[in-house]
A and B are shown apart, each in its own frame.
Chain A
Amino acid sequence: MMAITREEVLHVARLARLALTEEEVERLQGELNVILEAVGKVRELDLEGVEPTSHPLDLVNAWGDDEPQPSLPLEQALSNAPEEEAGFFRVPPA
């Protein structure tokens, strides 16, 4: 059974932008292993030739017409911004 390594935990945390504490890293490694063990069951099945289901509905081609709708007033667009400057959203440098 595939067990998740500490390196993998750190790698996944990086991909997910989570700054885990050391305690979290250890705990999560254990918990993830338990969960992976449970969900790893899916690999038991022989599913050769079975199409994946991405959507439970048999729906296709749900589109919208290229007609403009009013955008949010500026105050509303910015209303929840944690940091704002001159009408822009302000963030630290990337």
Chain B
Amino acid sequence: MKGRIDTLRLTAEAAAGLLERGELSAAELHAAYAEAIAKRDGELHCYLRTTPYTGGAGVPIALKDVIGTEGVETTAGSRILSGYVPVYDSTVAARCKGAGLPLLGKTNTDEFAMGSSTENSAYGPSHNPWDPERVPGGSGGGSAAAVSAGLAPWALGSDTGGSIKQPAALCGIVGLRPTYGTVSRYGIVAFASSLDQVGPTTRTVRDCARLYGVIAGRDPRDSTTVDVPGVELPTAEDLRGIKVGVPRELNEAEGIEPGVKEQVAKAIALCEELGADVEECRLPLSVEYGLPCYYLIAPAEASSNLARYDGVRYGFRAQADGDLTAVYETTRDAGFGDEPKRRIMIGTYALAAGYYEAFYGKAQQVRTVIVREHAALFERYDVLVSPTSPTVAFRFGEKTENPVAMYLSDLLTIPSCMAGLPGLSIPSGLSEGLPVGLQLIGPQLSENTLFRVGHALEQALGFDFVPERLR
């Protein structure tokens, strides 16, 4: 193929086609993205670092900087890991390598994946390609913005309470949070162990399915993983035989912008047109208690997972007079930003003697309730739908005054995360010129159903994933 590749519109599937037909080499494709990044990432700051082409015959990929990559600096968006170069590949990075996917670079993230906007990154925020004065979402805003702006054909992110789905929604692209346990966490900088999952951030549902197939499946190095059914690339463009549940509490929660509600309502109507049975249903406690439950369990696990950052074996170590304790305390206070500190404090408190039962213990019980409520619905429905995010992309600084304001961005994604359920976000329309995401939630191991429903809707919606201002 002569002439330049315009990465702006390229899907991974289309790129794979180009490679297969020999229209260009993998090295050339990588170079095209490198060039696009050089030209346009200055404005968006999706990438923390880019990497040269070192081999691989497949479609290049960007990885969120919580995904460990051997020989390539991995910071998790934090100062405390500045300069840390892993001596081993995470399993997902190794699987991408094994599939011949060259690495484009590591994308920006809220520090330790804690946040909903990338404003918590120690290296500066990323910007939404639809409107650079607004956030791309978080924590995986870098990956979402890169894919949205054509600076990567696809990417991997990580999702704990919505960190793949919410940025996908705010950037107008596709994001999958897989069933807990289907993608290995080995080599992923841990935030909350019982919630973290790595997943695809892509332009189309088919790309998402394809990438999921590359990374999913049991890993003997991660005891919490399971085997997965084979991935089926979706083709059907109807929804006949699909029963769709519309949980009232998710769809009418406080704080959902009218524009978002409108777009989602249209998408739900479309489901019916495509042949699905659509019905309202209830999640009586999951939405109301999901956020508090998450913001106890996740910080508790995080407070423990972040204890290893002590300046002894890797990462930043502060100069401190005095003994070891002084080094620990100074290193950690200087190395961690405000949000990790907040969560470490909350988490430590929730686990502390005298408080365990009232906080962490209680939260684990609430989690059981959430699991049961969802399971009951899935006896009747194949998929539940709702908005992914209560709002479209917000402006920088809009939600940073009050930590809980930011936490509310995850209100709709969190409940299904607590139950380990998969969720797919697809763009369903625009509100005030900004993308609105539709969330599809399924029972455990129902990814193929989510792909099917997502693809059919995607085709029917015809949403153009290239940001208007870039076309």
Contacts and interface: CB of A to CB of B under 8 A. Distances in A.
A35 B317 contact: no
B253 interface: no
A43 B362 contact: yes
Given A45-B366, A51-B368, A52-B364, A18 B194 contact: no
Interface residues of A, number: 53
B348 A15 contact: yes
A49 to B, nearest CB: 9
A34 B393 CA distance: 24
A72 B87 contact: yes
Interface in A25-45: 28, 31-32, 34-36, 38-43, 45
A85 interface: no
Interface string A1-29: 01010001100110111111100100010
Given A80-B313, A92-B324, A94-B324, A36 B362 contact: no
B371 A53 contact: yes
B85 to A, nearest CB: 7
Given A38-B291, A43-B358, A80-B85, A4 B327 contact: no
B148 interface: no
A68 interface: no
A93 B359 CA distance: 36
Interface string A57-70: 10100111000000
Contacts of A2: 358
B434 to A, nearest CB: 27
The number of chain B residues touching the other chain, given as a range, is 35 or more
A80 B458 CA distance: 46
A42 B362 contact: yes
Interface string B144-188: 000000000000000000000000000000000000110000000
Nearest to B402: A34
B394 interface: no
A55 B404 CA distance: 26
B329 A18 contact: yes
Contact of B323 (A4, A36, A54, A94): A94
Interface string B210-223: 00000000001001
A42 B292 contact: yes
B362 A16 contact: no
Given A35-B342, A42-B359, A53-B368, A17 B310 contact: yes
Interface of B: 83-85, 87, 180-181, 194, 220, 223-224, 226, 285, 288-289, 291-293, 295-296, 303, 307, 310-317, 320, 322-330, 332-333, 336, 341-342, 344-346, 348-350, 352, 358-359, 361-369, 371, 402-404, 407, 418-420, 444
19 contacts: A16-B344, A18-B329, A19-B333, A24-B333, A35-B346, A36-B346, A39-B350, A42-B296, A43-B358, A43-B362, A51-B365, A56-B194, A56-B420, A57-B224, A80-B85, A82-B311, A82-B317, A92-B326, A94-B325
Interface of A: 2, 4, 8-9, 12-13, 15-21, 24, 28, 31-32, 34-36, 38-43, 45, 47, 50-57, 59, 62-64, 72, 76-77, 79-83, 89, 91-94
